[in-house]
Chain A
């Protein structure tokens, strides 16, 4: 088993290397000169050239790339062109918004999708199943930002239960911060849930047709035990896989939803950095997000082993 995970670790490192190369290349060829953006359109050619030399932008591609990568490996994060602070600092502060929001969104999605998926599977082709599938279809077709705006209109403007946007900060008000994250987390989670509910349903439908489910009934176990113990534990592996993959989509969704709700999170950070051609921020935040997705999927493998004993053999 340890060899399996070692192999996975090496794949993970190679993968991150390619992500870094891709991000870097895209930003390299992208039009828009950071020096120009910083100095404005009236800057003289000379000051521009000086600033570009200072930022290392006059160097050839590979020199710039290796400088960046070796710097990162040595633990040296770039400085934000815009804010003048190390990017790690920016990541840390925005992660305190995006992290809890992502966790809340996943939690909400799981708590909603798994029971509903099981319900749909055990009521296959009956009205309950059809209703659940209808709402899941609706969720799949709904863009996050639209749901976000709808929630603002309902819960903030109409009923005034939640703030419409902004983030007070955890040190100012824990409850206020939590409240600020609930609507965006539910909006993000609801979309994830509509995928997850389908997956849970189909995984459960497969499992409930298995021989060991018939055995469980033949032993005289209660329906609840059969479905939730004998069935669910088997259906959990595919559900976990997709849950891991959904984190990537969640982070992509966060970019949009954080802009809808004016949250100073990772998504908004990278969104603004792109507009300002703050290259160190863009590439390091993107690399960080990619690493987060990959690492979470790596952890999901450990979760498999906990759920499915057969997994250890492979």
Chain B
């Protein structure tokens, strides 16, 4: 059998800041099989982006450091890979789409150049061929008036168009794994669903795996086969998407479910979220003895505060990190 396209094992990422050491990703494990979409969800600041960035060795310097764990791409450990090898993988075998298409595209380089760049870098195409291929991809992602956009600059495009450009840029080298970090968060709802279905289509076409990062469970329900729920750098619950939506176990997952926006939009067309989980995510420099969610959990009891729960399997592929597993009557 083929090795999974991505296998993260016990990944631990620290930030060594002047105000103290913080743990942004805490012994996180997850697997993306070939051609599979995994959703990585969690509130803002729980370490989703740091997980994604550590895959490509792009954790913010000089503070960020991978302390522990391994990240395997098709069996090859990226954390110990030579930097030149890692560079060769970036953009050609593993591509990444970022949240803010405005700031993630270079304002002073043309769309054509930015989309063609990976082809020239990794496939050795000359400028003419690379631009032709870039144009084909821009048309493929349904960028309106693609040919004219080649010589345009990012500020001349709308948010949705820019995200299409980002996607084309990620796709040109036909990667085996796409890491999409909140690809639609900055977009309004109609554009959002267009972009999501575009990504689904491309996934089928190229057979690539997707690690889809979002804090929107609605997006995950639409896209992913499996979901990993993250809090404070840790996996809190992991399950196939149907199971997670039908029988969410962790109080945190349930809280996230209740805050899924249901069709309501504000005057700018963005979804309104209801029932946010009360309390705030603790700063990563804060040390918590027991369960990291215990400070906000509605069902918290003594064990939660004093002992750290481990991730346990409750049924095939459904894993949960919660003391309620041992003491279900305590749930409120």
For the complex with contacts A225-B121, A308-B107, A309-B107, 19 further pairs of A-B residues with Cβ separation under 8 Å are A124-B62, A211-B98, A211-B103, A212-B105, A218-B56, A218-B91, A218-B96, A218-B98, A219-B90, A219-B91, A219-B95, A219-B121, A220-B91, A230-B109, A233-B109, A234-B106, A234-B108, A309-B155, A310-B153
The residues of B that contact A233 with a CB separation of less than 8 Å are 108-109
Residue from B106, B108, B122, B155 within 8 A of A215 (CB atoms) = B106
Chain B interface (Cβ < 8 Å from any Cβ of A): 53, 56, 58, 62, 87-92, 95-96, 98, 100, 103-109, 117-118, 121-122, 153, 155, 169
Q: CA separation between A219 and B89, bound complex, in Å?
A: 9
Provide the A214-225 mask, 1 if CB < 8 A to any CB of B, else 0. Answer: 111111111001
Residue of B nearest to A215 (CB): B104
| 25 A-B pairs with C-beta separation under 8 A | A212-B104, A212-B105, A212-B107, A215-B96, A215-B106, A217-B56, A218-B90, A219-B90, A219-B95, A219-B169, A220-B87, A220-B88, A220-B90, A220-B121, A221-B87, A221-B91, A221-B121, A230-B106, A230-B109, A233-B109, A234-B108, A307-B108, A308-B107, A309-B153, A313-B155
The residues of A that contact B106 with a CB separation of less than 8 Å are 212, 215-216, 230, 234
The residues of B that contact A217 with a CB separation of less than 8 Å are 56, 58, 90
The residues of A that contact B107 with a CB separation of less than 8 Å are 212, 234, 308-310
Q: Tell me if A210 is interfacial: C-beta within 8 Å of chain B.
A: yes
A-side binding surface: helix, strand, loop or mixed?
A: helix
Q: CA separation between A220 and B56, bound complex, in Å?
A: 9
Q: CA separation between A220 and B108, bound complex, in Å?
A: 19
- The 9 nearest A-B residue pairs measured at CB: A220-B91, A220-B90, A219-B91, A211-B103, A309-B153, A212-B106, A218-B96, A211-B104, A215-B104
Do A210 and B103 contact each other (CB < 8 Å), given the known contacts A218-B56, A219-B121? Answer: yes
Q: CA separation between A217 and B95, bound complex, in Å?
A: 11
Query: Number of A interface residues, CB 8 Å?
Result: 24
The residues of B that contact A124 with a CB separation of less than 8 Å are 62
Q: CA separation between A307 and B109, bound complex, in Å?
A: 10
Residue of B nearest to A237 (CB): B108
Q: CA separation between A310 and B121, bound complex, in Å?
A: 27
B100, B107, B122, B169: which has the most chain A beta carbons within 10 Å? B107
Residue from B62, B100, B108, B118 within 8 A of A219 (CB atoms) = B118
